[in-house]
A and B are shown apart, each in its own frame.
Chain A
Amino acid sequence: MASQATAVPVRFKNSSSRVGDTVARLVVMIFACSILAITVLLVSQLFVSSAPARAALGWKFLSSSAWNPVTDEFGAAPFIYGTVITSLIAMLISVPMGLGAAIFLSELAPVKLSNALTFIIELLAAIPSVIYGLLAIFTLVPLMRSYIEPALKTAFGFIPLFTGPAYGVGYLTAGFVLAIMTAPFVISVSRESLLAVPREQREAALALGATKWESTWQVVVPYAKLGIIGSVFLGLARALGETMAVTMVIGNNPTISKSLLAPGYTIAAVIANEFAEAGGTIHPAALVELGLVLFFLTIVINSAARLMIIATTSKGSRRA
């Protein structure tokens, strides 16, 4: 490289190097613009393709529970409900688990062990959704149906949340699968947020006589709070958009049910099941409109997540 550089005579901002730079800048800018173009295209296509449904159904679409391709009545409510409930169940499980693991990895484990374990956990994040679904169908669903759901019914059957037949598929099962899928995200981002907390904070707490747990829970975690919440939102966004694993275990029933053991439907699952052969004009447009709703949901949550994560990691490094 050095010889190449010296072979080039010293030139300061003369025209040909300026041309080269301008061309380079233009080229990369075009490719950067393509990202904007793709996103604009995505949003506009979603709007255009959903127009027939939006015109025919209006705002009622968001609150209606109908889903009748014969009479062209469509409503998003059961799907929004299913999407939100399964994601909520997933978060209720994966956040405590994930935070616990993140604390272990950042505060307790020796560096080498922590890195090795984090590596393994990040491998979990790389497993394709359809493989989680495959495992869920043949191992989790029978387990739920034969053992876990009956046990929940006997123990908690008086709560409306745990009534109804034990199908094995349903909101709860989908929630469990999503919990496993989102945990790695919560863990890896929380761990980084916790690691970004300056040493002095921990040492100060310990110097004041706190136990390790007290120092962690009452000082370090609150300091990294924003990043941890960001990681939760990140996991949530992932859970909302998950398609394959959920489709395989949700039961595909477009109704709103109080019970967690009941079969339901999510936005992503209904699009996966019905899009390819939805005929007529309103039905496919209604499915695209559902896609639009999901798109907005994930955008809002992703944006919030990113802002929080940026705030935390930059705050941490500034103070370090």
Chain B
Amino acid sequence: MTTKVNMALVSLLAAATVPYAAAQKINACGATFPEPIYTKWFSDYKAAHPSVQINYTGNGSGGGVKGVTDGTVDFGASDAPMTDAELSAVKNNKILHFPTVMGAVVPIYNLPGVSQELKFSGSVLADIFLGKITKWSDKALAADNPGVNLPNADITVVHRTDGSGTTYVWTDFLSKTSPDWKSKVGTAKQVSWPVGLGGAQNAGVAGQVKNTPNSIGYAELIYAEHEKIGYGLVKNADGQFVKASIASVTAAAAGAAKTMPADFRVSITNAPGKDSYPISTFTWLLIPSKFSDATKAKEIKSFLEWMLADGQKSAPALTYAPLPASVVAMEKKQLAMVTQ
């Protein structure tokens, strides 16, 4: 009964917002991994189409999945593809995955006094995040970094507190390179971290690392680059230490592009190839296939078309890798499945 009263009151007050109804307002939420490029896209798209206002809240991939499942947003964003269980939890609708760009998760660190770029192998990273390696001067780190004067300081580990696609990609890589990690912690958007401080969203982790000397964390490349936070090279499946870049991320996706499944859910961590960056990932927009509002469906479809064409051009400037052409072609076909 109270809900009905609330609804009545709310619709009364909602009527008072008629002046605001001029613009087509679309709400989205989700991953912070691609948030820099998404906010740029939504801003550029609005400049070209002033009547369409897409409001994006970066609350983590978990938030994006929850948002589309509960229907509290019009579409979501996630760097971890939805699992079968998550997809079946969506009532009366089917969620379509649309890859937008590819990006890299990098191990960020704050080591005052060390100016060289550090090299990390997967097992070393896993042991650090498991709490087995506790000092920067540990033998295993020194072995990968000959000639670097690593301080004998405690390592402060920083990880995500929220449900994060970035965490999913990071833990996916750690599970693939460390059987210890796989059995003790596993791969997921939110895990039981053995050690470390927590930060909310990519920005929170990057902020903590930036402010905390002798710390290590993980974040999307742009956060490290933009804030001049040091990030290391990572050993890939072919044994090479590779630095994250558009080229190395594109190399990682090359194999997957050829065998892309129809629903676009694929992992490209620890991909083969000597130039591949091992902690690369696609990131997806989660679009419901059925919209109750015909105008919204139309607007979102035309945004997606724009994204697949003009949007891709602004990716490199923000250090994201544009999609391979074959993937773009597949996505254009999937667009037809978005209806009202």
Q: Which residues of A contact B (CB under 8 A)?
A: 41, 66-70, 137, 141-142, 145, 165, 167-169, 251-253, 263, 265, 273-274, 276-280
Contact = CB atoms under 8 A, between A and B. Distances in A.
Contacts of B304: none
B161 A273 contact: yes
A276 B59 contact: yes
Contacts of A251: 197-198
B220 interface: no
A2 B162 CA distance: 65
Contacts of A70: 186, 188, 190-192
Contact of A277 (B66, B89, B154, B199): B66
Contacts of B60: 277
A273 B190 CA distance: 13
B212 A277 contact: no
Interface string B154-167: 10100001110000
Given A167-B156, A167-B212, A279-B86, A274 B66 contact: no
Interface of B: 2, 59-60, 62-67, 69, 86, 89, 154, 156, 161-163, 186, 188-193, 196-200, 211-213
Given A70-B188, A279-B65, A279-B66, A167 B211 contact: no
Contacts of B192: 66-68, 70
A303 B204 CA distance: 37
A274 B162 contact: yes
A165 B196 contact: no
28 contacts: A67-B192, A68-B192, A69-B163, A70-B192, A137-B211, A141-B211, A165-B156, A167-B156, A167-B197, A167-B212, A168-B212, A252-B197, A252-B198, A253-B196, A265-B198, A273-B161, A273-B162, A274-B163, A276-B63, A277-B62, A277-B63, A277-B66, A277-B67, A277-B163, A278-B66, A278-B163, A279-B66, A280-B89
B59 A252 contact: no
List the 6 shortest-distance A-B pairs measured between CB atoms, nearest first: A252-B198, A277-B63, A165-B154, A279-B66, A277-B62, A70-B188
Nearest to B67: A277
User: Per DSSP, are chain A's interface residues mostly helix, strand or loop, or mixed?
Assistant: loop
B113 to A, nearest CB: 15
Contacts of B62: 277-279
A267 to B, nearest CB: 14
Contacts of B65: 277, 279
Contacts of B162: 273-274, 277
Contact of B161 (A41, A68, A142, A252): A252
Nearest to B188: A70
Contacts of A145: 212-213
Contacts, number: 71
Nearest to A277: B63
B73 to A, nearest CB: 11
Contact of A253 (B59, B163, B198, B200): B198
Contacts of A165: 154, 156
A261 to B, nearest CB: 11
Nearest to A251: B197
Contacts of A280: 89
Contacts of A253: 193, 196-198
A142 B59 CA distance: 27
A68 B2 CA distance: 34
B69 A279 contact: yes
A130 B38 CA distance: 28
Tell which of A145, A274, A277, A280 has the most Cβ of chain B within 10 Å.
Answer: A277
A66 B193 CA distance: 11
Contacts of A169: 197
A73 B189 CA distance: 15
Given A252-B199, A274-B161, 4 more contacts: A70-B190, A274-B162, A276-B63, A277-B64
A280 B200 CA distance: 20
A28 B56 CA distance: 43
Contacts of B211: 137, 141-142, 168
A69 B192 CA distance: 8
A256 B222 CA distance: 34
A299 to B, nearest CB: 22
B171 to A, nearest CB: 10
Contacts of B196: 253, 263
Contacts of A265: 198
A168 B192 CA distance: 23
Contacts of A278: 62, 66, 163
Given A66-B192, A141-B211, A263 B63 contact: no
Nearest to B65: A279
A279 B65 CA distance: 8
A273 B200 contact: yes
Nearest to A284: B66
Contacts of B189: 69
A236 to B, nearest CB: 26
Nearest to A146: B213
A70 B192 CA distance: 8
Contacts of B69: 279
Nearest to A262: B197
A145 B188 CA distance: 32
A276 B76 CA distance: 14
A289 to B, nearest CB: 18
Tell which of B163, B190, B197, B198 has the most Cβ of chain A within 10 Å.
Answer: B198
Contacts of B154: 165
A274 B69 CA distance: 17
